Every structure is written in C-alpha cells, then in structure tokens.
Structure 1
C-alpha cells in the first residue's frame, strides 16, 4: 500500500447515524402514509389499482438498482478492472440489499395478482386482479368463457400465475445468491488476503453474467411488458436493461459523491468520477438507441397490434411525459456530460445523477401506468409519496449495509492501481 497508508485511513467505516438515518426513516414514513392514502383516503374509482401500479413501479425500480449494483461487481471482476477497486464497497452495499428488494417485489406482484376488484369491460362487470389484469383475469384463456381472448389463450402456457411467480422467485433468488457470494468473497479477502477469493469472484462473476444476460429480458417481459399482454417487443428486455444500468450507475455515482462530501472515500479522486460519468454518458446514449429503435420499428410497420402501445402513451395525460422522458434521459446527460471537465465536477455530476434517477423513474412510469390504470390517471400524492418512501427504504438498508464493513477492500489485488488511478 506504500505511502498511502500514511495518508488515508483504510480501516475507516461509515457511521450510519445522524441526518442520513433520520431522513431515510422520515422518507419511509412518508411512503407508508402515501400508501395508506392511496388505499384508504383516495376516493377515485381506481385508487387501489393506481396505488398497486405505483408499488410495482417502485418495487421494480428498487430491485433494478440493487441488481445493477450486483452487475457492476460482476463486470469489474470479469474485466479485471483496477480503477473501481477502491469504490467497490458501494455496489457491494447495493448487492447486499438485493434479497430484501427481491422479496418486496415478489410480495407486491403476488398481492396484485390475488387482490381483485370489479372493472367494466364493454358494459360488462368483470372481477380482475389489480395487477396483470390483461392476462390474469379469470376466463381469458377458457374457450367456454364469455371473456375468452384468443391471443391471451395462446400465451397461457407461459403467462399463468404459478409459472409467472415461480420464474420471478427463481430469477431474483439466483441474483440474490450471487450478490451474497460476491460480498462474502470480498469480506473473506479482507480477512485472509491472497488471490483465492478474488479468483472465486472472477469465476462466479462469469457464471452470473451468463445467467443475468439470458434471464434479465425475461424478468422485464414478465414484470413490466406483460402488463399489456397483447403487445410484444423483442427489444423490450434490452431497453429495460439499459434503464436499469444507467439508474444503477447514477445511484453509485450519487452515493460516492455524497459520501465524499461527508468526509469518506478521501482516497478517491476526480478520475473515479470521470469514469462513472463516462459510463452514465455512454449508456444514456445506448438507452436512447434502444428506445428509438423500438419506436421506429413500430412506427413504420404501422400495425395496429403494435402501434397501440405508443398510441396509449400519446393520450393527453401522458404525451408531455413521453417527450420529457427523452429530454431528461438523453439530451440532458449528453449535453452536460459531453465535456471531460464536467465529468470531474462533483456538484455537476451529482445534479446529473439525480436528474437521471428521476428521469428513469419517469421512464418506468411511462412503461407501467398506461397499461395498468384504466382511467382517472392523475399525478399526485400517491406517486410522489411512494417514490420518496422507496428511496428512503433503499437508502436505509444500503447505508446500513455499507456501515458493516471497512470502506476499503484492503486486500483487493488491484487496490494500488485504483489508488493511483489517473486519466
């Protein structure tokens, strides 16, 4: 470690006390109040449906950010990257929260599937689940039912409640197992030294990336795309992956900046921020490429079963958000992060990270709301309060996990390279 041992405290641990703990708990309380408001006080006809849609949105977003932290770890191990070694504790904290996020998401999906309410379809009242009504409503796959839907019946072998929940539990369970393995190997590396745990991390990261690459599109097909089960896009999985990855990178960058401002991670420098900024810049462009490719293919094909997806999102209550989505998630990071100097400025990077986190919340909002909430689509206390509640939940569990280990993986083989990182 050379002279750096005399300059920095490598046994430093984050203390999860004071304002961070207080504000995260306040945010959780706000979220609970917003959920109660959505279910008990909101008198609109679709209050429960709208509340469940927001729970799904934030449960999915919460899980995606934690999964992105696990993916970040795997990519660094497989690439044998040196620059990131000194900041790995942050994505490791994300990974340690993934099992909690996964359980919350599964519970939301299960509750939404098994909680029914009456809706009116073509003048007929139907008992439908609060989530996934387009394929989980009773009778849609039954030729003898008056609600029979030939398209849904053709997908029933895949889109049925037991198989749907089983896939979700298996995928999220696998991601969580790998997340725990990566954090355990890193901790053992601190205790034991040597290359054994790093080599294990490399091996399991290779396996994880193969599993993650094949199952992430299916996970997004299930959780989000099946909300509008008549519609299908083969690009949807990669579109969701891009949103997840940019959100995760933004959350890592924001966490690092806030911790640096609080006096932690003093061994990191502007080059670490610069690398995170490059990733955020590059994958915002990739997200836009996939978004536009999906939009363009559907636009020029002009088939009714395809264009209905965007037709719904051009209705008056959604059209401003549709265009704002592109402005926030593409134009803003490109124009702000194009400059090398801007990627090295803490305050500017913090602004872009917050902007992208809000922008991809809007992105998920546009994916989920039109196919879930049938009418009385409004934007207010429920949306804002539940978003704040989940942000507080993430911050609470992530910072608590971060406080359990020293902030430097002292025996990481590339730590010295990271400490001297300069570009």
Structure 2
C-alpha cells in the first residue's frame, strides 16, 4: 500500500459534468433511434418489421455485452489486485451500473422477438414438434428440452439478473470505500469479484448460445461462446478507452497518463488477436473435422449480400489493430487510441450484424435507415446512461488501497 505522497498534485473530488454538446448529442441520437425503430415497426411490410426486430436484438445484445464487460473489468481488477487501473476504474463501474437497464431492455426485446414477431422461428415455430405437421423437425424436437420458451426466458432473466446484482454491489462498495476508507469494502469487493468471475465465466457462453446461436438452432459450435466473449471484451475495452480519452481532452482525469493508455492498448491489441483466433478456429474445426452439415452457417454468410461484410469484419477487427497497435508509441497516443477504439466498436457491430442477420431475416434485402438509426439510438442511450452515472461520483476512488501505485504507474 502506498503512502499517498503526491495526492496534493491532483483534485480527487473532481466530478465530471454531463452537459452541453455531449448531453444534447445523446438525447438527439435516442430520439432518432426511436423514430427509426417506429418507422420500421409501423411500415406494414413484413420484411421491414422483421429487419427492425433483428436490429433491436443486435443492438440490445451489444449494449448489454458492453455493460457486462464493464462489470467483468471491475471484478478482474479486484481479483488480480491490479494497481494500474485504480485511477480509471470509475469508468467501467459506470458501465457496470448501467447493466440492469441494458439487461431489462434485452429481456423485453427477446420476449417480443419470441411472442409478437418470431425472431427465434428456427426452434419456436408452428408445428416443429408435431409429428403430423409438415413443419415437423426431429432435430428441434431433440433439442426441445433445452430450447423451449419458459426455460429459455428464465435463463435470460437469471443470468442477466445475477450479473446486474453483482455489478450494482461492486459499484456501491467502491463508493462506500470513498466515504469510510479502510480495507473493509476492498476485501468484500475482492471476495464478491472472485465469485462473480466464476459465475460469469461459466454462464456467458450459455448466454451467447441462447441469445444469438439459437437464432439458427440446427447449427452448433462449441467455440461460439468464447467468440462472443472475445467480441464483448474488446468492445468493453474500446468503450473504456474512448471515455478516458474524451475526458482527458475535456480537461478531466489528469492523473491518467500514457502508461495507462498503453495498458488499455495492450488489452485491445491482445484480445483482438484472440478474437481472430476463435473466429478462425470456429471455421477451421468444421473443415478439419469434416462436418459438412455444419458448413451451412458459413455458406449463408458467403452469399453475395453478406460476403463483403464478412471480409470487411476481419479486416477491421484483426488487420487494423494488428497493423496500428503493434507499435509501442501508437498505444501511448490519445488520437491513435481513440481512432482504433471507434473503428473496433464499428467493426464489432458488423461482427454482431453478421451473427444475427442471416439467421433472422430470410429475405434481407437492404441496409439503411433502420440499421443506422437503431445503432445511433442505442449509442445515444449508452452515452446518456453511462455519462449520467459517471457524473454522480468523484472521478477517482480516493481511498482505493492501490491508488498511489496507479498514480505512479510507468511502463
């Protein structure tokens, strides 16, 4: 534990003020998003309505993933007793505190997707389990003990509920530490984080199987959960990086320096490579094991309307961080990190788009206002909720036992 020797150099009661252009942008984005979704749902065109629901699922899942990544980041720092991140931990805490709202939205979207407009028609369709129906599907019948609406929805509620409870408690303990000092809150946070990481590690693959993989219920990949986790983690790191850089440019958080940025850059770089490894392994194992019936997943994504996006995704999410962030100096420059983080967030949106669309929208012929508007709406909501949360507390956990180490972090 440090001696807090240089604390007089910094204002540890500094608070972020969420106002002006940032607040206005977030509100306008939400309004535009609501308008785009309403336009899609009220269009009266079956394919457009289907597309709108698919986009809502895509963005609801993405939003929840990024907030869950915030909770994972906070818990990971406690369990590994990392000192470098103490000065910026308020940012992932704000993301984690937004998780209950994101989770609730996702559950509503999934519920609507099951009831009013069937996103999950591959396993929740008319006559799939009826032996006398022309739609009877023996594969789906074999999976029906797991893939049925009550069990499916209860898994969503239980997993997201547990993640949300841990996220809220960890954030509250950190704020309590600010008021009371001492190590009691830190020790509690350490124990709870260890429990949370075990639960999160075992259940996130199942959550990904349910929410996204079951959109194409005939197909199965044991790599899919880790592929989704890698995308979630990279996106979360990107969001933390963007908020750090934007706050620093606005004159806040002068205790965060290029060394902290460098560590975020290493995580972004390393897990982009990991994402690519899992992305390729999923494809490679099907080829290597000679399972032709599993190639249907990739066959769909090689149809002319998706093939350019398929390749663009790997260029953005692998080639660009590889070429840009391999350099030490690049990871220490605010503008470079901001550019790569924004690029990767767009890239992982595209990655989720390729996961969701081919299995949900059979006659998807179009990319336009609905896609851009829905994404913009959720982006606005994320900014509004996370930055509002961030503005409610001091930007630094002043009684964190490793804060002094974070202030003197150098690599």
**Which TM bucket (shorter chain)?**
over 0.9
Q: Give unmatched runs, 5+ long, in structure 1.
A: 117-128
1:3-402 map, 5 Å: 4-41=6-43, 44-116=45-117, 129=118, 131-402=119-390
Shift of 1:2: 4.4
Distance 2:364 2:229 in 1: 30
Shift of 1:92: 0.3
Q: CA RMSD in A?
A: 1.0
Deviates more, 1:376-385 or 1:263-272: 376-385
The answer to whether the Cα contact below 8 Å between 1:246 and 1:283 also exists between their aligned partners in 2 is yes
Shift of 1:38: 1.1
The answer to whether the Cα contact below 8 Å between 1:77 and 1:201 also exists between their aligned partners in 2 is yes
Distance 1:49 1:337 in 2: 39
SS in 1 for 2:395: coil
The normalised TM-score by structure 2 is 0.98
Shift of 1:376: 3.4
SS in 1 for 2:32: helix
The answer to whether the Cα contact below 8 Å between 1:272 and 1:421 also exists between their aligned partners in 2 is yes
The answer to whether the Cα contact below 8 Å between 1:44 and 1:376 also exists between their aligned partners in 2 is no
The answer to whether the Cα contact below 8 Å between 1:189 and 1:411 also exists between their aligned partners in 2 is yes
Shift of 1:139: 1.7
Distance 1:207 1:64 in 2: 19
Structure 1 segments of 4 or more deviating over 6 A? none
The normalised TM-score by structure 1 is 0.95
The answer to whether the Cα contact below 8 Å between 2:286 and 2:292 also exists between their aligned partners in 1 is no
Shift of 1:227: 0.1
